[in-house]
Chains A and B, each alone.
Chain A
């Protein structure tokens, strides 16, 4: 508990997580811990593009190919807007392969090792064809088509323009452009994916345990593709070792496992290895953004145009579709800035690479990088301080309707920036920076201000035209006869600590301790339908539903107490586990109300329904949290190495339910943002072969690369959410790349270069410095 904690409520306190005990004692239960009768190894395409001529299995091996799955539908994620062209992803590649790592066959054996040995013996003859690897190649005239029914390889293209754009652009005093590029990443949860499908002989059902963020959606999708009644499939998400978006999309491998368990009437398991995860689990971030900003004489951005190209890989992902990145970029690009005239185009382009899916931040790390580079460029052009140029442009009146129609609820864009600037002591840094340059050391300071749209319900997803329109969540609350509470949720946390934070919200309503509340999640048999945990939504949406359900239970407890204590409902208070008549010493333990509700229903003369179970759904419009990230870096111009000296976050996520957990979310997001900015890159060669297949090639940061972080908070309560809380799961990853890249550019400003590509590896920084020298 810390000094900033609240004392009078459970909400606002840094209580320890209920999740932790099993995890620190080795009693966590992860998918890979389950034993199985059959093990699966997938045979994957060694080439990016080609026609499958034949598949030859070794003697005695059980091998499943596309031909065996004839009755299973392909994955066909659907969007009903923006000229989206649906593409089919066969569960196992049939006829053609479209990326290195695409599953072609499944080999089944009694052990993992045997399955691997047999898979090595499967011969796949493929006639290779030309692969298109980069988005620019795929868009070129006459480029090979990844799917023959998608002309030009453009699977989605959306445009937005305000009517006044051309006039505003024409009237601008100065036009500045920036082109940024984010290379490809892998969300890289430390637990790779995996599934365990078991036939239950008693019921004939399949129990499918898997590493997922979305158990209910997995059940819907898999049952539909296989053509089995949804009720015949139970999906269980046990402990899940991180997801960050990668585990919200449907892997074709999971469909194979359920299909096999049904066919074999047995248990079948697959544990993805790291190489498979790096090449064939979903990728992210591969985007290019060109911005042109028209500024007036005072440095106010009056017209913004954007051109966004996202390389979405070979297939579209279920449920969001591959349009999620370009569409979010287009809708949210004006960012936290007051820009009335906006024109943008965003497209998703098919290539012969691993499919893209959401990853923490979705589009916003890249759009924030673009906007924040533009702001720094404008600061230089107008000879203004980077803080001053932002002051002149940040939204400061609420609610604010953006040029793309998004409604921003009250936030603190300027305040968090001023907070960060004050904490950094920018003036003192500038002195230090000047002194350092005289001895050949290059320090830089970078800022990133951004908005993080979170906790949005069905209207926001419907605006994208998604066939599967997530948004609401449901919570069922039962107080059992002993007075303990069970909350069953459709959300599916996997590290976010929701079992703790939801219990805090419920505890305050019911006047009991969080320890008396158990949150049940991750089992479609035990929880109400819900969309799962992604998009910084669970605390806001499942939290809101939990609050509404708890209020209903509270009403019921008060009714019960009012009968038993013979007092008016308005006089009953629930606190410290008791129902009391205000101003008297009359009270009853809340547990005794529960006993009476179940076992002495006759005492309420039929006026109160027996038992205590309530349910609620919540579907909020959405809210924007905000933050300012600031980095101080030093760049070694001889090696191109970047050292982060300081990283600071001034965050406003509305009401903080558990400040300790909030800080943890920010820490983790920032670390991933640092990886994005400096280290992590999935690399393909020109033939579409992937070169980064181990963690010695793909480099998530270690403790050594992550500096101590300094966090500050404001709490602007959201009027758009019932708890006042705003989501913040992604913010760390959104702001960090821009802050670091701005800091690098500030450090290197004497060389008049612009680093606009991430990760800013030593090689890229050295190349830019060499080019600058050559041009000098």
Chain B
């Protein structure tokens, strides 16, 4: 075992001080050290995107980063998406349009979409499809995910 390093992660507005090995991935730290298990692990090699979180507002694959690289940084995960009981438009849209079945990829897709739409609210459809092609879903055939994201994008723009 390697020596542990103390780091602090600001997850959904709350600081988590944890001691991790330098080799510990960010997703393991978020899930196992900080107890935020809403973020999922699908492949641990950066392809499926189930572990997508926002780091400083940008979608990242938290399985491809070491936790120590995120020391002191602001992280948003699916647990922080709703405002109290008030769901984020994307969460509502996924429910409304049946954008999930088993729900395992959903946190990653939600965070990816939030990141994309916050950065580029007027994103064109081709670019949106390209962006959402970053993540894998095995249940929905993506039909209702894209429908949900389009609907949420329209709602977020209208605000």
Contact = CB atoms under 8 A, between A and B. Distances in A.
A342 interface: no
Given A20-B94, A23-B100, A23-B106, A706 B79 contact: no
Nearest to A695: B47
A732 B103 CA distance: 20
A190 B42 contact: yes
A664 B101 contact: yes
Contact of B39 (A24, A26, A494, A667): A26
Contacts of B106: 23-24
B140 A664 contact: yes
A217 to B, nearest CB: 20
Contacts of A696: 45, 47
Interface in A1-54: 16-17, 19-28, 30, 32-33, 35
A496 interface: yes
B136 interface: yes
A35 to B, nearest CB: 8
Residue with the highest number of chain A CB atoms closer than 10 Å, among B77, B95, B133, B143:
B143
A121 to B, nearest CB: 13
Nearest to A20: B95
A242 interface: yes
A702 B77 CA distance: 22
B102 A494 contact: yes
A495 B102 contact: yes
Interface string B81-122: 110000100010011101011111111001000000000000
A25 B79 contact: yes
Contacts of A703: 129, 132-133, 142, 145-146
B48 A695 contact: yes
B38 interface: yes
Contacts of B44: 273-274
Interface in B59-96: 77-79, 81-82, 87, 91, 94-96
A18 B149 CA distance: 20
Interface string A636-673: 00000000000000000000000011011001111110
B21 A113 contact: yes
Given A25-B81, A113-B21, A240 B91 contact: no
A20 B100 contact: yes
A17 B98 contact: yes
Contact of B138 (A189, A271, A273, A660): A189
B136 A671 contact: no
A190 B78 contact: no
A147 B66 CA distance: 45
A84 interface: no
A30 B104 contact: yes
B41 interface: yes
B45 A695 contact: yes
A709 B138 contact: no
A190 B102 contact: yes
A700 B138 contact: yes
A744 B78 CA distance: 41
B101 A495 contact: yes
A17 B48 contact: no
Nearest to A666: B141
B50 interface: yes
A704 interface: yes
B114 to A, nearest CB: 12
Q: For chain B, give the interface size range.
A: 35 or more
A242 B94 contact: no
Q: For chain A, give the interface size range.
A: 35 or more
Contacts of B145: 703
B48 A26 contact: no
A700 B139 CA distance: 11
B78 A702 contact: no
A709 B37 CA distance: 33
Contacts of A240: 102
Contacts of B87: 24-25
B97 to A, nearest CB: 9
A227 interface: no
Residue with the highest number of chain B CB atoms closer than 10 Å, among A25, A32, A494, A668:
A25
B22 to A, nearest CB: 11
B137 interface: yes
Contacts of A671: 140-142
A415 interface: no
A702 B136 contact: yes
Residue with the highest number of chain B CB atoms closer than 10 Å, among A271, A274, A696, A708:
A274
A61 to B, nearest CB: 13
A403 interface: no
Contacts of B78: 24-26
A23 B101 CA distance: 9
Interface string B17-55: 000010110000001100011111111110110100000
B1 interface: yes
A304 B47 CA distance: 44
B23 A702 contact: no
A694 B45 contact: yes
A191 B104 contact: yes
B40 to A, nearest CB: 7
Given A113-B1, A695-B45, A702-B136, A16 B102 contact: no
B130 interface: yes
A21 B101 contact: no
A732 B110 CA distance: 25
A242 B135 CA distance: 16
Nearest to A675: B138
Contacts of B140: 664, 667-668, 671
Contact of A241 (B38, B40, B143): B40
A190 B132 CA distance: 16
A24 B114 CA distance: 13
A101 interface: no
A33 B103 CA distance: 14
Contact of A495 (B39, B130, B139, B141): B139
A23 B21 CA distance: 30
Contact of B43 (A244, A667, A669, A695): A695
Given A17-B95, A190-B136, A239-B102, 18 more contacts: A19-B103, A20-B95, A23-B100, A23-B103, A24-B78, A27-B38, A28-B38, A32-B37, A113-B24, A190-B102, A191-B40, A239-B104, A274-B43, A496-B101, A700-B138, A703-B129, A703-B133, A708-B143
24 contacts: A20-B100, A22-B103, A24-B94, A25-B38, A26-B37, A26-B78, A28-B103, A30-B40, A32-B40, A113-B23, A114-B1, A241-B105, A242-B138, A273-B44, A274-B48, A664-B139, A667-B141, A667-B142, A667-B143, A668-B140, A695-B47, A696-B47, A702-B135, A709-B143
By Cβ-Cβ distance, the 5 closest A-B pairs, closest first, are A26-B38, A241-B104, A23-B103, A495-B102, A671-B141
